[in-house]
Amino acid sequence: MQHTLAEFQVPEHTTPWTHAPLAAAYAKGVAYVDGRYVPIGDARIPLLDWGFTRSDACQDTISVWDGRFFRLDDHLERFERSWQSLRLVNPLSRDEVRDVVRKLVAIGGWRDAYVQIIMTRGVPPVGSRDPRLCENRFQAFAIPYVWIATPEKQREGMHVHVSDIRRVPVQSVSPLIKHYHWLDFEMGLFDALDRSADTVVLKSIDGHIAEGPGFNVFAVIDDQLTTPRSAALDGMTRRTVIQIAESLEIPVSESDITLERFVRADEAFLTTTAGGILPVTRIDDVEIGTGPGALTATLHAEYWRRRQDGWLSSDALYW
Protein backbone atom coordinates (compact mmCIF):
# COMPACT_ATOMS: atom_id res chain seq x y z
CA MET A 1 0.00 0.00 0.00
CA GLN A 2 1.51 3.33 -1.04
CA HIS A 3 1.07 6.60 0.84
CA THR A 4 2.30 10.10 0.15
CA LEU A 5 4.26 12.29 2.53
CA ALA A 6 1.30 14.64 2.81
CA GLU A 7 -0.42 12.01 4.96
CA PHE A 8 1.96 12.81 7.81
CA GLN A 9 -0.19 15.77 8.78
CA VAL A 10 -1.70 16.54 12.15
CA PRO A 11 -5.17 15.01 11.71
CA GLU A 12 -8.15 17.30 11.48
CA HIS A 13 -10.64 17.46 14.31
CA THR A 14 -14.01 15.83 13.85
CA THR A 15 -15.97 17.09 16.86
CA PRO A 16 -16.99 20.62 17.88
CA TRP A 17 -15.32 22.08 20.95
CA THR A 18 -16.42 25.36 22.47
CA HIS A 19 -15.40 25.05 26.10
CA ALA A 20 -12.94 27.71 27.32
CA PRO A 21 -10.63 27.64 30.37
CA LEU A 22 -12.43 28.35 33.62
CA ALA A 23 -10.06 31.32 34.00
CA ALA A 24 -7.34 32.90 31.86
CA ALA A 25 -4.73 31.78 34.39
CA TYR A 26 -5.39 28.16 33.41
CA ALA A 27 -4.81 28.61 29.67
CA LYS A 28 -1.17 27.44 29.80
CA GLY A 29 -1.79 24.54 32.12
CA VAL A 30 -3.45 23.25 35.27
CA ALA A 31 -1.86 21.31 38.13
CA TYR A 32 -3.21 19.25 41.00
CA VAL A 33 -0.99 19.60 44.08
CA ASP A 34 -1.88 19.01 47.74
CA GLY A 35 -5.50 18.43 46.82
CA ARG A 36 -5.88 21.77 45.01
CA TYR A 37 -6.17 22.74 41.34
CA VAL A 38 -3.86 25.65 40.52
CA PRO A 39 -2.43 27.33 37.40
CA ILE A 40 0.58 25.36 36.18
CA GLY A 41 2.92 28.25 36.95
CA ASP A 42 1.86 28.22 40.60
CA ALA A 43 2.43 24.49 41.19
CA ARG A 44 5.05 23.70 43.84
CA ILE A 45 6.49 20.64 45.54
CA PRO A 46 8.67 20.69 48.69
CA LEU A 47 12.36 21.21 48.01
CA LEU A 48 13.19 18.20 50.18
CA ASP A 49 10.81 15.81 48.41
CA TRP A 50 12.90 12.81 47.37
CA GLY A 51 11.14 12.96 44.04
CA PHE A 52 13.26 16.07 43.43
CA THR A 53 16.44 15.32 45.40
CA ARG A 54 16.72 11.65 44.38
CA SER A 55 14.53 11.24 41.27
CA ASP A 56 12.53 8.90 43.50
CA ALA A 57 9.31 9.13 41.53
CA CYS A 58 7.25 7.63 38.75
CA GLN A 59 4.77 8.99 36.26
CA ASP A 60 2.47 8.18 33.40
CA THR A 61 1.54 10.45 30.51
CA ILE A 62 -1.91 10.36 28.94
CA SER A 63 -3.11 12.08 25.79
CA VAL A 64 -6.42 13.70 24.96
CA TRP A 65 -7.26 14.19 21.29
CA ASP A 66 -10.49 15.53 19.87
CA GLY A 67 -12.00 15.65 23.34
CA ARG A 68 -11.22 12.02 24.22
CA PHE A 69 -8.73 10.35 26.52
CA PHE A 70 -6.81 7.54 24.81
CA ARG A 71 -6.37 4.27 26.72
CA LEU A 72 -7.03 5.99 30.04
CA ASP A 73 -7.64 2.78 31.99
CA ASP A 74 -4.49 1.20 30.51
CA HIS A 75 -2.46 4.22 31.61
CA LEU A 76 -3.93 4.10 35.11
CA GLU A 77 -3.14 0.39 35.34
CA ARG A 78 0.47 0.93 34.24
CA PHE A 79 0.82 3.87 36.64
CA GLU A 80 -0.36 1.66 39.49
CA ARG A 81 2.16 -1.00 38.49
CA SER A 82 4.94 1.62 38.55
CA TRP A 83 4.21 3.05 41.99
CA GLN A 84 3.67 -0.39 43.49
CA SER A 85 7.02 -1.54 42.04
CA LEU A 86 8.70 1.40 43.80
CA ARG A 87 6.91 0.53 47.06
CA LEU A 88 4.99 3.78 47.01
CA VAL A 89 1.46 4.16 48.37
CA ASN A 90 -0.94 6.35 46.41
CA PRO A 91 -3.19 8.39 48.72
CA LEU A 92 -5.83 8.39 45.96
CA SER A 93 -7.79 5.46 44.60
CA ARG A 94 -7.73 4.69 40.88
CA ASP A 95 -11.21 6.21 40.52
CA GLU A 96 -10.04 9.36 42.31
CA VAL A 97 -7.02 9.65 40.00
CA ARG A 98 -9.35 9.27 37.02
CA ASP A 99 -11.51 12.05 38.41
CA VAL A 100 -8.49 14.33 38.87
CA VAL A 101 -7.27 13.98 35.28
CA ARG A 102 -10.73 14.60 33.88
CA LYS A 103 -11.09 17.73 36.00
CA LEU A 104 -7.66 19.00 34.90
CA VAL A 105 -8.65 18.84 31.23
CA ALA A 106 -12.08 20.36 31.93
CA ILE A 107 -10.57 23.27 33.86
CA GLY A 108 -8.12 23.96 31.02
CA GLY A 109 -10.83 23.57 28.39
CA TRP A 110 -8.62 21.78 25.85
CA ARG A 111 -9.75 19.59 23.01
CA ASP A 112 -6.19 18.20 22.78
CA ALA A 113 -4.15 17.82 25.96
CA TYR A 114 -1.05 16.25 27.48
CA VAL A 115 -1.70 14.96 30.99
CA GLN A 116 0.87 13.63 33.44
CA ILE A 117 0.19 11.84 36.73
CA ILE A 118 3.05 11.63 39.20
CA MET A 119 3.94 9.88 42.44
CA THR A 120 6.89 11.08 44.51
CA ARG A 121 8.47 9.57 47.63
CA GLY A 122 7.80 12.69 49.65
CA VAL A 123 9.74 14.23 52.54
CA PRO A 124 11.25 12.04 55.30
CA PRO A 125 11.60 13.09 58.93
CA VAL A 126 14.58 15.40 59.43
CA GLY A 127 17.82 13.40 59.38
CA SER A 128 16.18 10.13 58.32
CA ARG A 129 17.21 8.12 55.27
CA ASP A 130 14.50 5.53 55.73
CA PRO A 131 12.23 5.63 52.65
CA ARG A 132 9.51 3.85 54.61
CA LEU A 133 9.03 6.97 56.72
CA CYS A 134 8.27 9.27 53.79
CA GLU A 135 4.69 10.36 53.16
CA ASN A 136 4.19 9.60 49.48
CA ARG A 137 2.62 12.30 47.32
CA PHE A 138 0.38 12.31 44.24
CA GLN A 139 0.53 15.22 41.81
CA ALA A 140 -0.72 15.77 38.28
CA PHE A 141 -0.83 18.39 35.55
CA ALA A 142 -2.37 19.02 32.16
CA ILE A 143 -1.13 21.29 29.40
CA PRO A 144 -2.04 21.73 25.72
CA TYR A 145 -1.06 18.72 23.61
CA VAL A 146 2.69 18.29 23.06
CA TRP A 147 4.34 17.11 19.81
CA ILE A 148 7.87 15.67 19.84
CA ALA A 149 8.04 16.51 16.12
CA THR A 150 6.28 19.28 14.23
CA PRO A 151 4.03 18.37 11.30
CA GLU A 152 6.78 19.59 8.97
CA LYS A 153 9.35 17.35 10.65
CA GLN A 154 6.96 14.39 10.45
CA ARG A 155 6.63 14.83 6.70
CA GLU A 156 10.39 15.15 6.33
CA GLY A 157 11.24 12.37 8.78
CA MET A 158 13.44 12.57 11.86
CA HIS A 159 17.21 12.36 12.12
CA VAL A 160 18.27 10.26 15.11
CA HIS A 161 21.66 9.71 16.65
CA VAL A 162 22.49 6.39 18.31
CA SER A 163 24.61 7.34 21.30
CA ASP A 164 27.42 5.39 22.93
CA ILE A 165 25.82 6.28 26.27
CA ARG A 166 24.01 3.20 27.54
CA ARG A 167 20.54 3.01 29.05
CA VAL A 168 20.31 2.38 32.80
CA PRO A 169 20.77 -1.42 33.11
CA VAL A 170 17.60 -3.40 33.66
CA GLN A 171 19.39 -5.10 36.55
CA SER A 172 19.45 -1.72 38.32
CA VAL A 173 16.09 -0.15 37.44
CA SER A 174 13.32 -1.89 35.57
CA PRO A 175 12.49 -0.17 32.26
CA LEU A 176 8.86 -1.24 32.86
CA ILE A 177 8.68 1.42 35.59
CA LYS A 178 7.96 4.78 33.95
CA HIS A 179 10.44 6.70 36.07
CA TYR A 180 12.50 9.88 35.97
CA HIS A 181 15.99 8.37 35.63
CA TRP A 182 16.73 10.50 32.58
CA LEU A 183 20.36 11.60 32.96
CA ASP A 184 21.40 8.95 30.44
CA PHE A 185 18.79 10.31 28.02
CA GLU A 186 19.76 13.92 28.69
CA MET A 187 23.49 13.37 28.13
CA GLY A 188 22.70 11.38 24.99
CA LEU A 189 20.41 14.16 23.80
CA PHE A 190 23.20 16.72 24.16
CA ASP A 191 25.33 14.35 22.11
CA ALA A 192 22.65 14.15 19.41
CA LEU A 193 21.93 17.86 19.25
CA ASP A 194 25.65 18.62 18.99
CA ARG A 195 25.59 16.46 15.84
CA SER A 196 22.55 18.35 14.48
CA ALA A 197 20.29 15.33 14.97
CA ASP A 198 16.70 15.74 16.17
CA THR A 199 16.86 13.25 19.02
CA VAL A 200 18.75 10.30 20.45
CA VAL A 201 18.33 6.54 20.74
CA LEU A 202 20.25 4.70 23.45
CA LYS A 203 21.52 1.15 23.44
CA SER A 204 21.14 -1.33 26.27
CA ILE A 205 24.12 -2.36 28.36
CA ASP A 206 24.58 -5.37 26.03
CA GLY A 207 24.65 -3.15 22.94
CA HIS A 208 21.17 -3.60 21.50
CA ILE A 209 18.89 -0.75 20.44
CA ALA A 210 16.76 0.21 23.47
CA GLU A 211 14.69 3.42 23.46
CA GLY A 212 14.87 7.20 23.43
CA PRO A 213 13.74 10.02 25.72
CA GLY A 214 10.01 9.42 25.85
CA PHE A 215 9.63 7.09 22.88
CA ASN A 216 9.97 3.51 21.65
CA VAL A 217 11.66 2.43 18.43
CA PHE A 218 10.39 0.34 15.51
CA ALA A 219 12.18 -0.78 12.34
CA VAL A 220 11.23 -2.73 9.23
CA ILE A 221 13.98 -5.33 8.88
CA ASP A 222 13.86 -8.29 6.48
CA ASP A 223 10.22 -7.53 5.64
CA GLN A 224 9.17 -7.68 9.28
CA LEU A 225 8.16 -4.93 11.67
CA THR A 226 10.42 -5.22 14.71
CA THR A 227 10.70 -3.45 18.07
CA PRO A 228 13.22 -4.03 20.90
CA ARG A 229 12.12 -6.77 23.25
CA SER A 230 13.99 -5.56 26.35
CA ALA A 231 15.62 -2.53 28.00
CA ALA A 232 12.63 -0.40 26.98
CA LEU A 233 9.32 0.72 28.43
CA ASP A 234 6.23 -1.12 27.23
CA GLY A 235 4.99 2.15 25.78
CA MET A 236 1.29 2.65 25.26
CA THR A 237 1.74 3.80 21.65
CA ARG A 238 4.11 0.87 21.11
CA ARG A 239 1.39 -1.45 22.40
CA THR A 240 -1.13 0.24 20.11
CA VAL A 241 1.07 -0.12 17.00
CA ILE A 242 1.56 -3.83 17.69
CA GLN A 243 -2.21 -4.27 17.97
CA ILE A 244 -2.85 -2.34 14.75
CA ALA A 245 -0.15 -4.27 12.87
CA GLU A 246 -1.57 -7.59 14.00
CA SER A 247 -5.09 -6.54 12.99
CA LEU A 248 -3.77 -5.61 9.51
CA GLU A 249 -1.87 -8.94 9.30
CA ILE A 250 1.47 -7.12 9.21
CA PRO A 251 4.22 -9.40 10.61
CA VAL A 252 5.52 -7.89 13.86
CA SER A 253 8.03 -9.17 16.40
CA GLU A 254 9.75 -8.12 19.59
CA SER A 255 13.43 -8.98 19.30
CA ASP A 256 16.96 -7.73 19.86
CA ILE A 257 18.13 -5.19 17.28
CA THR A 258 21.81 -4.50 16.79
CA LEU A 259 23.01 -1.14 15.53
CA GLU A 260 24.19 -2.84 12.33
CA ARG A 261 20.67 -4.18 11.66
CA PHE A 262 19.06 -0.89 12.66
CA VAL A 263 20.96 1.21 10.13
CA ARG A 264 20.14 -1.33 7.39
CA ALA A 265 16.39 -1.07 8.08
CA ASP A 266 14.08 -0.37 5.16
CA GLU A 267 11.99 1.90 7.40
CA ALA A 268 12.13 3.16 10.96
CA PHE A 269 9.86 5.16 13.21
CA LEU A 270 9.34 6.26 16.80
CA THR A 271 6.19 5.82 18.88
CA THR A 272 5.14 8.20 21.63
CA THR A 273 2.12 9.62 23.40
CA ALA A 274 3.43 13.03 22.30
CA GLY A 275 2.82 12.56 18.59
CA GLY A 276 1.89 8.98 17.80
CA ILE A 277 4.01 7.50 14.99
CA LEU A 278 6.99 9.62 13.91
CA PRO A 279 9.00 8.52 10.86
CA VAL A 280 12.80 8.29 10.94
CA THR A 281 14.61 8.94 7.68
CA ARG A 282 18.19 9.23 8.90
CA ILE A 283 20.20 7.34 11.53
CA ASP A 284 23.45 9.19 12.13
CA ASP A 285 24.98 9.43 8.62
CA VAL A 286 22.81 6.72 7.05
CA GLU A 287 19.72 7.66 5.04
CA ILE A 288 16.74 5.36 5.64
CA GLY A 289 14.80 5.13 2.39
CA THR A 290 13.96 8.26 0.42
CA GLY A 291 11.43 9.57 2.94
CA PRO A 292 8.83 8.16 5.35
CA GLY A 293 8.13 4.61 4.22
CA ALA A 294 4.87 3.09 3.00
CA LEU A 295 4.40 0.82 6.01
CA THR A 296 5.10 3.68 8.39
CA ALA A 297 2.55 5.81 6.54
CA THR A 298 -0.03 3.01 6.66
CA LEU A 299 0.33 2.60 10.41
CA HIS A 300 0.34 6.36 10.95
CA ALA A 301 -2.88 6.81 8.98
CA GLU A 302 -4.57 3.87 10.71
CA TYR A 303 -3.50 5.05 14.16
CA TRP A 304 -5.09 8.47 13.72
CA ARG A 305 -8.14 7.09 11.92
CA ARG A 306 -8.87 4.80 14.83
CA ARG A 307 -8.30 7.53 17.37
CA GLN A 308 -10.68 9.84 15.56
CA ASP A 309 -13.24 7.02 15.48
CA GLY A 310 -13.01 6.78 19.28
CA TRP A 311 -11.16 3.45 19.46
CA LEU A 312 -9.97 2.68 23.02
CA SER A 313 -11.07 6.19 24.00
CA SER A 314 -13.25 7.79 26.65
CA ASP A 315 -14.93 11.18 26.76
CA ALA A 316 -12.91 13.97 28.36
CA LEU A 317 -15.93 16.16 29.07
CA TYR A 318 -16.54 16.59 32.78
CA TRP A 319 -19.38 19.09 33.01
Alpha helices in the chain (DSSP H): 50-53, 72-85, 94-108, 151-156, 183-194, 236-247, 259-263, 294-308
105-122 pLDDT per residue, tens: 999 999 999 999 999 999
The per-residue DSSP string of 16-36 comes to ------SSGGGTT-EEEETTE
The radius of gyration computed from the CA coordinates of the chain, to the nearest angstrom, equals 20
pLDDT tens string 124-168:
999 999 999 999 999 999 999 999 999 899 999 999 999 999 999
Quick one: what percent of the chain has pLDDT higher than 70? 95
9 pLDDT above the threshold of 50: yes
pTM for the complete prediction? Answer: 0.94
> What pLDDT score does 18 carry?
53
> For residue 91, how far is the Cα from the chain centroid?
24
Q: Average pLDDT in the 246-270 region? A: 97
Q: What pLDDT shows up at residue 317? A: 80
Dihedrals φ, ψ of 177, to 5°?
-90, 125
Work out the mean pLDDT of the chain and round it to a whole number.
94
pLDDT, position 160: 98
pLDDT in tens, 210-242: 999 999 999 999 999 999 999 999 999 999 999
pLDDT digits (tens, 9 = 90+) for 36-89: 999 999 999 999 999 999 999 999 999 999 999 999 999 999 999 999 999 999
**Domain annotation for the chain: domains and CATH numbers:** 24-144 (3.30.470.10), 149-288 (3.20.10.10)
CB atoms within 10 A of CB 64: 27
Amino acid at the residue 150: T
Taking 60 as the threshold, does the pLDDT of residue 255 lie above it?
A: yes
pLDDT band for 8, please (50, 70, 90 cuts).
low
Please give the pLDDT value at position 22.
Answer: 79
DSSP state letters, 165-217? EEPPPTTTS-TTS-B---HHHHHHHHHHHHTT-SEEEEEPTTS-EEEBTTBEE
pLDDT at residue 21, rounded to an integer: 78
Measured on CA atoms in the order 219, 285, 210, 239, is the torsion positive or negative?
negative
Mean pLDDT of 265-292: 96
Q: What is the pLDDT of residue 3?
A: 47
pLDDT digits (tens, 9 = 90+) for 192-215: 999 999 999 999 999 999 999 999
Banded pLDDT at 1 (limits 50, 70, 90): very low
Query: Is residue 17 over pLDDT 50?
Result: yes
Please give the pLDDT value at position 202. 98
